[in-house]
Structure formats: structure tokens, C-alpha cells
């Protein structure tokens, strides 16, 4: 068995999760990558990591489903003797619309994935951590509210921010730190799922830095918060949003 530290990344097969998986691998972490449906991308990330001589493992599960989350962590137990870092990264958004057009099915799907999923994964991770770190991937949307686009998604990230603050206090005595990053306008597939693949380019001129962000730039902030460099930081947030 490897004696490397272990990171578990939900939604680690694509976008910010994939960049985070590769960055932790470069820092000597064995990496467990969860995905929901895109097995091909998850396996590609694992292959790249294994080329570095680092162990990588992929597990399919819908983080919104409690039984699947339990089964996923049970599989993790067979693969890794320890868990040092959880990155609660998996999330979804749906096409832009005002509240007047939203129905309960849509709202509940967003909240189940983005909020309940993060709660369930944190719960299972904490059971396995002897000192550790959780980084929640929130969004600048928790501050802007995303009017006329995705109030549901933005509110789910507001819940994740509050969860970060409360959980940090709840598990501080176990030497587990809990922090969050709040990305904004990063080039990933998520905007396509939100119904506007070109959204970052449309809005980038409104950002003080005048450009969209890259997944690697978010991964750096996630890694910093998880690392010993941030050893006295808990219940905190890093905005990775170009100044907005």
C-alpha cells in the first residue's frame, strides 16, 4: 500500500476537478476521482496521473444519492488506507431562466446535487479523516445571486458558503479544516450545461482583470487551502473571480 496522502475529488473527471486532480498528483497525493456519467474523461485524468508514477482511482456515483455516496466511500476504503483531503467540487447548473419559469423538479435537482451532495460527501470523509482538510467549490454566484439566469444554482452556492462556515467550527477540534473557493467565469463545460457555451467570452470584459479564468487557476487556490501553507485557515474563502 502507498504511504502517500490521499485526496478525493468529486466531479474530478472534467473542468476544475480534473485540473485539481492533476495538481494534487504533482504534489505527491494519490488521487481518487469521482464522476457521474463521463467515465471516459475520468479515466483519461487517471491515466495522466499514473504517468507521473502516482496512484489514481476512479469511482462512479451520483453525489446526490445517499446510498451511492455510501457505496462510493466503501469502495474508497478498499483502495486507500487513509483520507487527507476532500474536494467537494461536483455541481450542476441548468439552462438560464427567471424564477417565474422554474419548477420544483429543477430546483430540487440543483439543491440535491450541489448542497446535499456536498453534505453527504463531507460526512463520509470526516468519518475517515484523522486530521485533514475539506475544500468546497462554491461560486461567485453566491454573492451576485445570478438574477434572471440561475437563482437556484446561486442559492445552492450560498448554502455551501454557510455550510463551510458552520462545518469549519464543528470539526475544528478534530483538526479538520474546512474552506471554500468561489470561482467566477472559468472556461469549462459548465456554461454549455447552463445553455450558453460562450458565456465567459460574452462577459469577460466586465471583469476587472478583463479575461476569463482557467481551471488551473482555481486548482491552485484549492490546493493552497488544503495544504499546510494554510494550516491556520479554516472557515475561509478565496474568490478566484478576476476581481468581480
Binding site for ligand NAP (CB under 6 A): 10-11, 13-17, 34-38, 41, 62-64, 89-92, 113, 117, 137, 139, 183-186, 188-190, 193
Whole-number minimum distance, CB 147 to ligand NAP, in Å?
16
Q: 2 or 109: whose CB is closer to ligand NAP?
A: 109
Helix H or strand E segment including 33: strand 30-35
Tell me the Cα Rg of the chain. 17
Whole-number minimum distance, CB 99 to ligand NAP, in Å?
19
Q: 43 or 165: whose CB is closer to ligand NAP?
A: 43
How many angstroms separate the Cα of 222 from the Cα of each of 10, 85, 137, 140, 199? 13, 10, 8, 15, 23
Q: 68 or 133: whose CB is closer to ligand NAP?
A: 68
Q: 144 or 233: whose CB is closer to ligand NAP?
A: 144
44 vs 179: CA distance, rounded Å: 28
Q: How far apart are the first and last CA of the chain?
A: 45
- Asked if 126 contacts 73 with a C-beta cutoff of 8 angstroms, the reply is no
Nearest Cα neighbor of 5 from 173, 132, 181 is: 132
Q: 15 or 132: whose CB is closer to ligand NAP?
A: 15
Whole-number minimum distance, CB 10 to ligand NAP, in Å?
6
Whole-number minimum distance, CB 92 to ligand NAP, in Å?
4
Instruction: Point out the catalytic residue in the list 29, 153, 187, 223.
Output: 153
Query: 119: Cβ–Cβ under 8 A, 6 or more apart, which residues?
Result: 163
For the sheet containing 56-60, what is the strand order? 56-60, 30-35, 6-9, 85-88, 132-137, 176-183, 237-240
Q: Is 153 a catalytic residue?
A: yes
Whole-number minimum distance, CB 154 to ligand NAP, in Å?
10
Residue number of the CB closest to ligand NAP reads: 15
Catalytic residues: 153
Amino acid at each position: 500500500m502507498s504511504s502517500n496522502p490521499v485526496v478525493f475529488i468529486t466531479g474530478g473527471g472534467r473542468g476544475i476537478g480534473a485540473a485539481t486532480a492533476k495538481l494534487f498528483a504533482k504534489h505527491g497525493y494519490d488521487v481518487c476521482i469521482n464522476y457521474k456519467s463521463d467515465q471516459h474523461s475520468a479515466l483519461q485524468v487517471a491515466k495522466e496521473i499514473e504517468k507521473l508514477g502516482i496512484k489514481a482511482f476512479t469511482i462512479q456515483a451520483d453525489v446526490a444519492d445517499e446510498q451511492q455516496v455510501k457505496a462510493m466511500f466503501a469502495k474508497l476504503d478498499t483502495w486507500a488506507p487513509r483520507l487527507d483531503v476532500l474536494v467537494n467540487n461536483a455541481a450542476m447548473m441548468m439552462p438560464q431562466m427567471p424564477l417565474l419559469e422554474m419548477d420544483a423538479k429543477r430546483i430540487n435537482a440543483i439543491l440535491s446535487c450541489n448542497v446535499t451532495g456536498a453534505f453527504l460527501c463531507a460526512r463520509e470523509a470526516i468519518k475517515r479523516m484523522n486530521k485533514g482538510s475539506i475544500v468546497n467549490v462554491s461560486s461567485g454566484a453566491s454573492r451576485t445571486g445570478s438574477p434572471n439566469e440561475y437563482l437556484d444554482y446561486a442559492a445552492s452556492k450560498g448554502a455551501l458558503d454557510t455550510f463551510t462556515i458552520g462545518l469549519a467550527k464543528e470539526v475544528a477540534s478534530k483538526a479538520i479544516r474546512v474552506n471554500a473557493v468561489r470561482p467566477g467565469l472559468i472556461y469549462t463545460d459548465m456554461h454549455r450545461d447552463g445553455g450558453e457555451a460562450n458565456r465567459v467570452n460574452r462577459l469577460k470584459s466586465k471583469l476587472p482583470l478583463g479575461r476569463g479564468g482557467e481551471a488551473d487557476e482555481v486548482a491552485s487556490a484549492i490546493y493552497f487551502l488544503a495544504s499546510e501553507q494554510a494550516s491556520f485557515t479554516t472557515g475561509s474563502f478565496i474568490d478566484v473571480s478576476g476581481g468581480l
